[in-house]
Amino acid sequence: MRAITLLLTVALASFANSSNYSIVMPTSYCTLTSNVIYIELIKRLLEDLHYLNVVETSDGQNPSVTALQCTLDGLKQPLTLYTVDKLLKQVYKRKMSENSLDINPYSHLEGFLSRATFEVFMDKLIPGAAQLNPIAKLVLVGYRLTQEEILRLFRRAWIDYRVPNMFVLNRADDASIESCLLNPYRTEPGTIDERNLECEVIVDLKDVADYVEFVQQFLHDRVHSLNKFPLKIAIADIDLMSLAVRGPQGKIQRFTYLDGEIVEIMRQHLNFTTEFVILPSQLSTGFVYPNGSLGGSLELIENGQIDLAANSRIIHSYNCRNLQYLRQLTTTKLIFIVPQNYYNSRSRDRVFFNTFTWSFYAVNIILATTVPLLLKLIDRQNKFPGLMMHTLAVTLAVSTRLPTRIHARLIFSGILLYTIITYSIWQAIIIKRLNTNNDHLDDIQKIDELLDSELVPMIPVAYATFIQPARKEVQDQDIPYKKLSRKSSVAGNNITGAALIATMLASRSTAVMIHDLRAGVVKARFYDDERMQSLIHVIGEHVFEFYTAMALPKDSPLLEPLNEITVRCVEAGIVENELSRIQFKETLYMIEKNRDQHRMGLDAGARRFNLGVWKNVFYYYLVLNGLALVVFVLELIVHKRMKPLKKRRGEKELGPLRLRSKRRVKFAVGKME
């Protein structure tokens, strides 16, 4: 420890010499009563920190390096020494770096310590520390500051820069130290006066330990009991997520369901009042425009206009400098919904015109072609067309006249045995497929099918950030993702999800991305009362899966208590209970639809097959039957007209034969006589 102190002394001395300071360190300076109290108080206040930034300044009279040396002697934390100019340069450097855009919260284990004049505090130190870490402990050591100056320092820190953890140590005289803290939640927003200050004068070294315990309790109570302080909370009035509960005059009293219940629990535990900023559904979660600018609640958070964005959103690193998340509440999956029965004929093809059907009939045609050739080779008197029709009739299980020759009968007996077996197998396959749940055979089932179809995936602007073709983490093997990013289209920020779905059903040319928690409600709301089924099909395969959480500004001092409440809600099963309420509400929607049609329970267990896909086949069948009827009528007409002609022709041919027969009969009779 002595070596560290020596190194710090040498560093401070060399730093001061380089700045043309004349450092005089009297041995009695560090032993003054106020200095002893001040040094002990600093050590106790900063003992829980891991990083300490010490800013060296000079007020022109007392070299601050001397005071810092007395303070730093005995500190165990790693130290970073700055001048004011170097601190401001560090602020600019961090602001320009990409690290300022991450969603990691500021460290509570960092602190700033400086001794300077009132003007330096106001113009440089408070703005600089706020830019580097607004929630870090900021300890300002002043000399003979007035009460008004202390108030102005706290107004500067809280109202202008949202720095809550600032300590002002005022060396009023050589025998005491005045320590002042701020509680901004004792008055209305934008007001800092004597009611917000908690100042105490310490005159004895023995009082330091008790005062440090008081400070810890004060900091805990400050953020756990907000004294009815109004917090601005951005939230959407949407069913199943945060539905407004209104009073007799229509005034919103609270919100229910998942996000609304969590906000209500936070309000009760932290004792604050709510000023709800009601936003539409898409604006409540926020989004990023294609040009990189922010919209919705993200813009409000970035500008410090709200204290909490209550509608849980996907935890993602947006292009924000003032965004952080609470602990995750649940997970969400981004899925696509498509029009019901997009493929009108796929159920027909899969049930009847399946692979076995095509193979079965192909083999029958081959047999009908090859077997007559074989019989023709065996007996050249056989006629090929007749044999082909007989063979085809046997393979199709149609009654027909069999040949009389033995070898032909043996061949046809083998074909008949083959036909009985294969036709039974074909019937079994058809029956099995008809008894399978074919409700969604005509629907798109996977993301690959969606990408191969002619549907255009429509991405709401709130989810457009996740469908970017130039994302660095997308590798060459992520082919479906690249195909989706090329094929998809981002909807406008003023188009609601309901409008996108209505357009999808009207045009049947798009698919819409939603999150899975709303899938059941969407299916129930877009319902066909005549067919008793939803107009929407949900693709079960998800595109992305994320954690969701509420968001708040990065400089908010309420991160710790809000995180505690969030974790308790998850562990106590409140989140799971609210999710089950959402699922139960979806079931109630579907029951209501069925009850309105008085069909509840009538079709339980029934499996439907839509025969409408067979209309073209039926039309073809009717046409063929019509042609067959025409041919039959023509055959009757031809037969009726040809019968007398055949009769007369037969009589002409049989006339000489009959005359000869009569002569032979007469000759035979004459002989006998």
Is residue 635 one of the residues assigned to a domain? no
Q: Are 122 and 145 in contact (CB under 8 A)?
A: no
Same domain, 426 and 449: no
The crossing angle, in degrees rounded to 10, of helices 257-270 and 207-224 is 150
Same domain, 70 and 190: yes
Mark which of 188, 203, 224 sits at the end of a domain. Answer: 224
Is residue 596 one of the residues assigned to a domain? yes
Q: What is the pLDDT of residue 218?
A: 94
Same domain, 51 and 157: yes
Same domain, 186 and 286: no
Exposure string for 413-435, b = 16+ CB within 10 A, e = fewer? eebeeebeebeeebeebeeebee
Same domain, 594 and 546: yes
Is residue 141 one of the residues assigned to a domain? yes
Mark which of 579, 602, 625 sits at the end of a domain. Answer: 602
Of the ranges 263-277, 309-323, 339-353, 576-590, which one carries the lowest mean pLDDT score?
A: 339-353
pLDDT band at 5 (very low <50, low <70, confident <90, very high): very low
- Residues near 283 by Cβ (< 8 Å), separated by ≥ 6? 236, 295, 296, 297
Same domain, 122 and 66: yes
Same domain, 244 and 363: no
Domain of 457, in residue numbers: 440-463+487-602
Same domain, 448 and 321: no
Dig out the tokens for 20 from the structure: 């043309």
Q: What is the CATH number of the domain that holds 158?
A: 3.40.50.2300
Same domain, 79 and 178: yes
Q: What is the pLDDT of residue 512?
A: 92
Same domain, 445 and 518: yes
Q: Which residue shows structure tokens 């066909």?
A: 528
For residue 649, what are the CA distances in angstroms to 640, 642, 652, 653, 661? 15, 10, 5, 6, 19
Q: What is the pLDDT of residue 671?
A: 54
The crossing angle, in degrees rounded to 10, of helices 406-434 and 355-378 is 180
Look at residues 162, 239, 166 and name the one whose alpha carbon lies nearest to residue 524: 239
Mark which of 602, 637, 656 sits at the end of a domain. Answer: 602
Widest Cα–Cα separation across the chain: 182
Indicate the DSSP class of residue 517. Answer: G
Is residue 277 one of the residues assigned to a domain? yes
pTM: 0.72
Same domain, 455 and 598: yes
Is residue 208 one of the residues assigned to a domain? yes
| 129-148 pLDDT tens trace | 998 889 999 999 888 899 99
In total, how many domains does the chain have?
4
Q: What is the pLDDT of residue 282?
A: 73
For residue 458, what are the CA distances in angstroms to 104, 226, 464, 478, 484? 31, 44, 10, 20, 10
Look at residues 541, 532, 462 and name the one whose alpha carbon lies nearest to residue 500: 462
**Which amino acid does the sequence have at 128?**
G
Given a cut of 80, whether residue 403 has pLDDT beyond it is no
Residue 312 CA to residue 284 CA, distance in Å, equals 9
Is residue 418 one of the residues assigned to a domain? yes
| 545-567 pLDDT tens trace | 889 999 999 889 999 999 999 99
Residue 396 CA to residue 393 CA, distance in Å, equals 5
Is residue 156 one of the residues assigned to a domain? yes
Q: Which residues pair with 54 in a beta bridge?
A: 81, 113
| 9-30 pLDDT tens trace | 434 433 333 333 333 444 455 6
Same domain, 87 and 169: yes
Q: What is the CATH number of the domain that holds 279?
A: 3.40.190.10
